[in-house]
Structure 1
Amino acid sequence: MKVFSILYTLRLKFTLTSLLLVFLFSLNSHSQSRATISGTVSDEFGGTLPGAKVSIEGTTIFTSTNADGFYQFDIEEGEYVINVSFIMYNNISKSVEVKVGESATLDFVLSAGFSIDEPISLGSRAQPKSLLKTTVPVDIIFPEEITNSSHLEIGQILHFLVPSFHSTHQTISDGTDHIDPASLRGLGPDQVLVLINGKRRHSSSLLNVNGTVGRGSVGTDFNAIPKAAVDRIEILRDGATSQYGSDAIAGVINIILKQQTEFIDIDGQFGTNTEGDGETRYFGANLGLELGKQGFLNLTAEYRQREPTNRAGNYTGSVYTSDPAVDTQLINQNNFFGQTGFSDQRVMEIGNAGTQNLSFFFNGELPINEKTTFYFHGGRNNRQGNSRGFYRFPKDEDRVVLELNPDGFSPEILTDIRDDAILAGITGIKNGWNLDFSQSLGINTIGFNVESSNNASMGISSPRGFNSGGFRYQQSTTNFDLTKNFDYLKGLNLAFGGELRLENYQIIAGEEASYIDGGSTYIDSNGVEQPRIPGAQVFPGIRPENELSRFRTNAAAYIDVELNPNDNWLLKGAMRYEFYNDFSGQTIWKLASRYSFSDNLSIRSSFSTGFRAPSLHQVYFQNVSNQFIDGDIKEVGTFNSESAIVNDAFELESLKPELSNHFSLGVSGKVNNTFTFSFDLYQINIEDRIVLSARLEDGFETILQPFNVSAAQFLTNAIDSRTRGLDAVINYRDKLGEGEVYASLAANFNNTKVDRINIESGQIGGMDNSAIFNREEVARIESSQPNFKINSLVSYDWNKFIFQLRNTYFGEVTYMHPSDGDSNNWVLNEFNGLIESRDQTFAPKILTDLSLSYKFENWIRFSLGANNIFNVYPDKHKHSANTSQGNFTYSRRVQQFGVQGANYFLRLDLKL
């Protein structure tokens, strides 16, 4: 039996070996019977173009050039037309004929083009069109711009490249320190829709409740998407609710992930500020793998670290006691400023918070057959943030346990953010219809931990660190789309489909010590026993009574029609019905048209309606937080529409959806293949806009007392707003000497006005509407973002050098104090000894970025440069009362571009 087993094993091995040899021989013979087409793709100056798409016309066969600009096809004999395309270059086609066993060399030299000629996917469900052929304005942020940008986060890249986009780092604003509010055309973060590869991206779990841009709104966390994974970005600057969803009031941002499989792309960057802080370290790696003959899997890993910056001023207030002489003595005796952990007489950390990011993303496609493709993408981002709050001084015994912290403390908020997303779908052709079915899942979770703090109400038994709870948002989206082109007149495209969305929002309670009232008291300066403030200082824990989990479903169906009555005229109509299980349904629509006077000149116009239901966060968020208001700490309660204080005490109406309409008119054109332009006017009206109210405190003590808060605020449909503006983009490209010069000038001029404050109910109805939405909140809508922004770029590509000079001109912003509309409320300005208003307008500023890159070989490039090279800062506070006793040199309420100052960087790019 043993011998038989050995013989059988040998026979099996011989058989398998024989089959393998036959297979390899047949494969080798087959490969020898084929032909080869290969070559290189370069620009007019001899530089290779890695990642250029090379395809065979009339087939689904394509490839991309490698790091040396080389491509190759192994094909059957015959005649072929080879097409080559590369973004921002003019496409080229060449014919070639090959016989069996032959090798043909076909090189391509591409001339530089413009973004206006590039095909775009946004704004139309027909075949991709160029910007000259669309009915709406679209910005394209092409790969070279993203790669050459010295900014490391998607939000900051867009902030300095796109005039209509605004997103700056915030400070002393809890979770908003780490998730930047982002807006388009001056509207809210929740009024712009974000897509990844054309599919809806989930929003953050954070509701912005502090005094920042976007207060009361929920946005998408742009910085959870790694820069290294992004190929290009399309920004539709037009109302698109009827096409893509009810939150596309301001427009749509589509982030397109990389597909390349030819090389390993590695980037490393180090930067530091002239102040010696805010160091940044970046590492990104992107690579692609082929799946089968035409499939791919693109993988990205990215690490970002940012040290905190501190632009706080020297503290001028008291520390131990209100008696100045005694206080000075104790400060010196205890070396107070020497042990705070800050330089000079600083007691706060004001500026960019410290963060650490680790991201993994993937993007892929796998053809199933000639007509069907399976696609997928997703990723994970983990972010740890460390920010500070206001210093708790030993004089404030209601919030400081002196036995634990005799010199007070600087509390820290450690924020853990995890963002996960995955999407899979199938696209194909059935009976002439293009089908697309997809399913996605996105989850964003934020957890808050407090360190170097105490719960004063627990006395000496208080811990120093706390888990204060957090938030979780989950979105599951199913999409089904059908499109087909018909040969009617000069072309008809019909599209229709549907979307089903399931959302879940959770508020997660903190540990008991983070919110409990331990009952500890202290004796004040008058000898009276007083209670201490409960909860962890800087971020009191979320209480169990505020913990919740709420679900919502949204169903939508749409139809989209495009008709070309003749070669020059395009008509477009779209209609969408959205239904929410908690806010009923609404039909919205859009009409648009474009007329081409020639191949290089067209006009366009559109009118659309919109509808946006409140987010789950806006409906259900509830919490109590510590907020410093004019130097005093207050427990501010944010209450939802289910709470007793809103329903019974204030008798406010429940939230209802926003309604909007959008009109635009524009022109775009190209001159002599060296100059392009586009100009677009727009107006956006929003009725019953959802905002967070002002803090209600004075005069409401009786109502607030049972809820243990000193002020209350809530989400409400408080205002109607009107936004008008102009977008302009001018580009120039031409040869200059032995190189090429590219210049662009882009601008956005924007004006938003609050048309009406419409509060009519309960306790609020009998008051002046300014109580619920005061002048500070009005200014936050109207003037907390720059009223204009102008971006200019001059780039010169010569031999192995790339020189770039970029300027960004930020318009003015204005802060208005809630009480200073009445001159009787003005206070002493210690800077000049006058009684003045605390209102301030911050003047326009220009920031200049400069960089120089040198390509040693095709696979290695070194860059150095500076952002804000002239070290420009916003205007300083002009009224002493706005500085919070010297702490705030610059405003934290309105921001044009942050307070980082000049930043210098070194970058190394490798393509292996």
Structure 2
Amino acid sequence: MTQGRIITLIGASVLALVANDVAAQTVARDAGEPSHRSASGAATTGKDGGADGNDIIVTGTRAEGRTRLDSVSPVDVLSGASLQRQGTTELAAALATVAPSIDFPRPSANDATDAIRPATLRGLSPDQTLVLINGIRGHTSANLNTNGTVGRGSAAVDLNTVPTVALDRIEVLRDGASAQYGSDAIAGVVNLRLREARSGGGASVTYGFYDTQVDTANNHRTVRGEPVVTASLWQGIGFGHDGFITLSGEYTKRQPTNRADIDRRVTPNRVTARYGDPEVEQFTGFVNAGTSLTDNLSLYAFGGYQDRDTRGAAFPRNANALTVTAGYPDGFLPIINTKTKDINSAVGLRGDFGGYNVDLSLSYGRNTVDFRTLNSANYAYGAATPKNFYDGQVAYDQYVAGLDVTRKFDVFQSLNVAFGIEGRREGYKIVAGELASYGVPANGGVPGASRGAQGFGGFRPENAIKRGRRSGSIYLDVEAQVTDKLLLGLAGRGEDYSDFGTTATGKVSARYDVTDWFALRGTASTGFRAPSLQQQYFTQTASVVTNGIPVQTGTFPSTDPVGVALGGLALRPEKSTNLSVGTVIRVGGFDLTVDAYRIHIRDQIGLSENIQAANNPQVTALLAPYGVSAARFFINGLASTAKGIDAVAHYRARTERAGTFDFTLAGNVNTIAVTRVPTSTATLNPAPTLFARNRILTLEQGTPGEKVTGTIDWSLDRLGALARVTYYGNVNQPGTVARADVLTGNRAITDLELRYTASKGAQIGLGVSNLFDVYPRATASANNSTGVLGFPYFSPFGFNGRYLYARAGVNW
């Protein structure tokens, strides 16, 4: 651990001890009041958005009545109010602001990854975090991240398909939990808990814009505008004795941002690119419902639908003979248009049968992404080129059926036994685009000209696939309160997949309450992540004319004849070993949790570099029969180890005249080391470089090694204010060589908000995100020859600058 990280940790500990001393002095005054958690930190919520340390959690435990501070694993409980008291209305961005262990970079000029941006937990891959909705497994996006961004090679759940207005709270389990929940829970679990209301409602409109000074390496300019408008509505409807239907809806319209540098290739020098957040228009609706059918049986259901239209920019095509022929005498800027449709749904029955709590559920999720390239050209068509292209579609769907049974026994002080089964069917499909998006006209087109839409070429007919798989699992999860002080847990799970076979995982956990105010806890577990269908079957190729002969290059499945020729094998699941140890301290209105962890992942899956026929004669001979000049595919064999510490300290001070003050200090210190890199395949030993320097460093240094958030949230009757400072450690957006690395630098971002909130009536908020207009380091000219990449898109806080916003609404 570096000296800087040690200082950060010591600083957090000192502040926590100071707060502890203050808390000790106020125990008598606060006696009889429940302990609370900050609305802006790791917290659950009361009506005012503050947090209650006695709130019940349902993630990480199947025992009833367990609170966050009583849990055996670290769980953050984040209120819906804390997510909404921000300038952003994106769930993933809001979650990253209040949870130090979560990172949400904003890639740009990276195809569909600009539109479907993944979040990470503890610096691991986005697909190594399991996302639940009301405790039921969510589905991943159909989009596979194949570009050079954080999370390259992953297909993760798109958190932004669930609007914050639909949420009551989010529970984040920061611990390996594959034995409890199945595949993907290597880094942890994010459980989105939907709002449940029989009455009441609210509507709000948030309007924001940027007021920023953009200082790239070669340009200084002022930007005011690029507005974002979000309108949201929710309504609770009661029926029967306890039935409820909660409806939520949200509409967002976001103008694109642009932080590109000037292009020195054109005269006069000017900005020719669009680099920043894409243009977005989206509609989202959710319904959450439940009712008792009998005294012992209840019915529940939820459903959500989102339609998102996103337009991001590719690299500009400056004027040349080809652009002139295509009808663009001044060049053109291709726009990559993704139209995403997303469905989340579930229905279930739960009841008490002879002392057994039984929960039977069926869920269905589907995500489709249609690709279009606008304002572009296919040079092979010459002057007859279309300007807009349909590039095809990727689609993913998932059915999950589960039966969960729990029962409490009078053994020891208490014994909670849970067991269940789960069946899952997944499907993945690629649909080809129109001919002009990838090929040439019937007459053969312009000889030697590149084929396909500039910016994003379409899927070819030979790329089209339709695949599926089935899996089944069984688990046992036991928690025993052995004595007043000792809690023990044991979980085991077996899974069988139709494509790669069986796997088993286990977890042991323990907690010992040394005193009423101090406890020790720890876990040890094994985990796994099944290779996704997207990783197994994604195919995208382009035809390149070489010496008058069209040859293919692109991404192939590892089991495709091209992949097999280069030594590709059927993908195996990633495996992990997780260790965690921590403490819980609580005195009066103060609490502190500190948890250290070690996560070792083996057989990790990565997307290889392009293996080119020109590399050596052996590769040339292997690829020649398939007319392929270069190919890449997914490979098992990477290994990495993540080590770190999470700490969350909170103190709530109540005064009669000055109101209530919530102080939260939360931080994550994290290091990742790649310990094994494959250098050969089944047919190539040694192979050309399979994973370049920049791929390895992205895993190790692509997320901040330190992130600390300090928050003060004040409320007095209907008035309130929030001040937050978030410190981000340096992030490296690595190049193929060291001189091409782009560093963000250490940065602190300050957010402020003032609010007026009535339980019924007007709701007003005024705020500023990034008050001091902080940017990551500008990309140096040497690493930005086109002028597009004004700032590193690995930046964990984005690169848009100061943002002003106003929120107005009404509750009823």
Q: 2:144 aligns with which of 203, 207, 216?
A: 207
Could you say which residue in structure 1 is the equivalent of 2:436?
Answer: 513
- How many Å separate the matches in 2 of 1:112 and 1:145? 6
Change (3 A) 1:113 1:883: closer
- Matched residue type, 2:513: S
Q: 1:247 aligns with which of 167, 178, 184?
A: 184
- 2:381 matched to 1:466? no
Could you say which residue in structure 1 is the equivalent of 2:570?
Answer: 654
Could you say which residue in structure 1 is the equivalent of 2:55?
Answer: 118
Q: Is the 8 A contact 2:326 2:377 kept in 1?
A: no
Could you say which residue in structure 2 is the equivalent of 1:301?
Answer: 249
Could you say which residue in structure 1 is the equivalent of 2:77?
Answer: 140
Question: 1:707: Cα distance to partner?
Answer: 6.2
- 2:597 matched to 1:682? yes
Question: 1:636: Cα distance to partner?
Answer: 5.5
Question: 1:154: Cα distance to partner?
Answer: 0.8
Question: 1:170: Cα distance to partner?
Answer: 1.4
Question: 1:515: Cα distance to partner?
Answer: 1.3
- 2:330 matched to 1:407? yes
Q: Is the 8 A contact 1:88 1:112 kept in 2?
A: no
Aligned sequence identity (%): 34
Q: Deviations over 1:625-668 (max 9, x none)?
A: 699xxxxxx986111123222111x1222211111110000101
Q: Deviations over 1:683-711 (max 9, x none)?
A: 00000101111233461683667767764
Could you say which residue in structure 2 is the equivalent of 1:726?
Answer: 645
Change (3 A) 1:635 1:730: farther
- 2:93 matched to 1:156? yes
- Matched residue type, 1:448: F
- Matched residue type, 2:589: T
Change (3 A) 1:85 1:263: farther
TM-score, normalisation: structure 2 = 0.89
Question: SS at the partner of 1:132?
Answer: helix
Q: 1:813 aligns with which of 721, 728, 731?
A: 731
Question: SS at the partner of 2:70?
Answer: coil
- Matched residue type, 1:514: S
Change (3 A) 1:531 1:285: same
Change (3 A) 1:277 1:622: farther
- Matched residue type, 1:745: L
- How many Å separate the matches in 2 of 1:361 and 1:403? 45
Change (3 A) 1:881 1:694: farther
Q: 1:350 aligns with which of 275, 286, 302?
A: 275
Question: 1:816: Cα distance to partner?
Answer: 2.9
Question: SS at the partner of 2:740?
Answer: coil
Could you say which residue in structure 1 is the equivalent of 2:4?
Answer: none
Matches within 5 A, 1:765-784: 765-767=685-687, 771-784=689-702
- 2:185 matched to 1:269? no
Q: Is the 8 A contact 1:786 1:811 kept in 2?
A: yes
Question: SS at the partner of 1:617?
Answer: helix
Q: Is the 8 A contact 1:394 1:402 kept in 2?
A: no
- How many Å separate the matches in 2 of 1:85 and 1:668? 17
- How many Å separate the matches in 2 of 1:126 and 1:215? 37
Q: Is the 8 A contact 2:559 2:569 kept in 1?
A: no
- Matched residue type, 1:853: R
Change (3 A) 1:689 1:403: closer
Q: 1:583 aligns with which of 490, 500, 512?
A: 500
Q: Is the 8 A contact 1:520 1:532 kept in 2?
A: no
Could you say which residue in structure 2 is the equivalent of 1:289?
Answer: 237
Could you say which residue in structure 2 is the equivalent of 1:565?
Answer: 482
TM-score, normalisation: structure 1 = 0.79
Matches within 5 A, 1:228-627: 228-274=165-211, 275-317=223-265, 345-395=270-320, 397=322, 400=323, 402-518=325-441, 531-624=448-541
Q: Is the 8 A contact 2:275 2:790 kept in 1?
A: no
Q: Is the 8 A contact 1:568 1:595 kept in 2?
A: yes
**Gaps (5+ residues) in structure 2?**
1-32, 40-45, 212-222, 545-550
Q: Deviations over 1:711-746 (max 9, x none)?
A: 432111141000000000000111244311111000
Question: 1:393: Cα distance to partner?
Answer: 2.3
Q: Is the 8 A contact 2:543 2:553 kept in 1?
A: yes
Question: 1:273: Cα distance to partner?
Answer: 0.3
Question: 1:260: Cα distance to partner?
Answer: 1.5
- How many Å separate the matches in 2 of 1:111 and 1:355? 31
Q: Is the 8 A contact 2:758 2:811 kept in 1?
A: no
Question: 1:147: Cα distance to partner?
Answer: 3.1
Change (3 A) 1:396 1:599: farther
Question: 1:765: Cα distance to partner?
Answer: 2.2
Could you say which residue in structure 2 is the equivalent of 1:868?
Answer: 770
Q: Is the 8 A contact 2:487 2:510 kept in 1?
A: yes
Question: SS at the partner of 2:633?
Answer: strand
User: How many positions carry a matched residue from both structures?
Assistant: 751
Q: Is the 8 A contact 2:586 2:592 kept in 1?
A: yes
Could you say which residue in structure 1 is the equivalent of 2:667?
Answer: 747
- Matched residue type, 2:229: R
- How many Å separate the matches in 1 of 2:382 and 2:625? 24
Q: 1:712 aligns with which of 613, 631, 642?
A: 631
Could you say which residue in structure 1 is the equivalent of 2:7?
Answer: none
Q: Is the 8 A contact 1:278 1:352 kept in 2?
A: no
- How many Å separate the matches in 1 of 2:321 and 2:497? 48
Higher relative contact order (CA 8 A, sep 6+): 2
Q: Is the 8 A contact 2:198 2:239 kept in 1?
A: no
- How many Å separate the matches in 2 of 1:764 and 1:317? 41
- Matched residue type, 1:787: G
Structure whose CA Rg is larger: 1
- Matched residue type, 2:734: M
Question: SS at the partner of 1:678?
Answer: strand
Could you say which residue in structure 2 is the equivalent of 1:340?
Answer: none
- Matched residue type, 2:593: S
Question: SS at the partner of 1:160?
Answer: helix
- How many Å separate the matches in 2 of 1:347 and 1:810? 31
Question: SS at the partner of 1:176?
Answer: helix
**Gaps (5+ residues) in structure 1?**
1-83, 91-108, 319-327, 329-336, 338-343, 523-529, 628-633, 822-836
- How many Å separate the matches in 2 of 1:222 and 1:608? 26
- How many Å separate the matches in 2 of 1:743 and 1:203? 36
Change (3 A) 1:501 1:772: same
Could you say which residue in structure 1 is the equivalent of 2:799?
Answer: 899
- Matched residue type, 1:888: L
Q: Is the 8 A contact 2:373 2:456 kept in 1?
A: yes
- How many Å separate the matches in 1 of 2:681 and 2:48? 65
Q: 2:708 aligns with which of 767, 790, 796?
A: 790
User: Which has the larger displacement, 110-119 or 743-752?
Assistant: 110-119
- Matched residue type, 1:756: R
Change (3 A) 1:111 1:267: closer
Could you say which residue in structure 2 is the equivalent of 1:888?
Answer: 789
- How many Å separate the matches in 2 of 1:881 and 1:309? 24
Q: Deviations over 1:217-239 (max 9, x none)?
A: 11001111011101100000000
Q: Deviations over 1:528-552 (max 9, x none)?
A: xx60011111111100111011010
- How many Å separate the matches in 1 of 2:35 and 2:342? 32
Q: Is the 8 A contact 1:869 1:902 kept in 2?
A: yes
- How many Å separate the matches in 1 of 2:388 and 2:375? 6
- The root-mean-square deviation of aligned C-alpha atoms, in Å, is 2.4
- How many Å separate the matches in 1 of 2:481 and 2:712? 38
Q: Is the 8 A contact 1:133 1:596 kept in 2?
A: no
Change (3 A) 1:403 1:306: closer
Question: SS at the partner of 1:476?
Answer: strand
Could you say which residue in structure 2 is the equivalent of 1:694?
Answer: 609
- How many Å separate the matches in 2 of 1:739 and 1:187? 40
Q: 2:64 aligns with which of 112, 127, 151?
A: 127
- How many Å separate the matches in 1 of 2:805 and 2:741? 37
Could you say which residue in structure 2 is the equivalent of 1:45?
Answer: none
Q: 2:721 aligns with which of 785, 789, 803?
A: 803
Question: SS at the partner of 2:407?
Answer: strand
Q: Is the 8 A contact 2:68 2:77 kept in 1?
A: no
Question: SS at the partner of 1:276?
Answer: strand
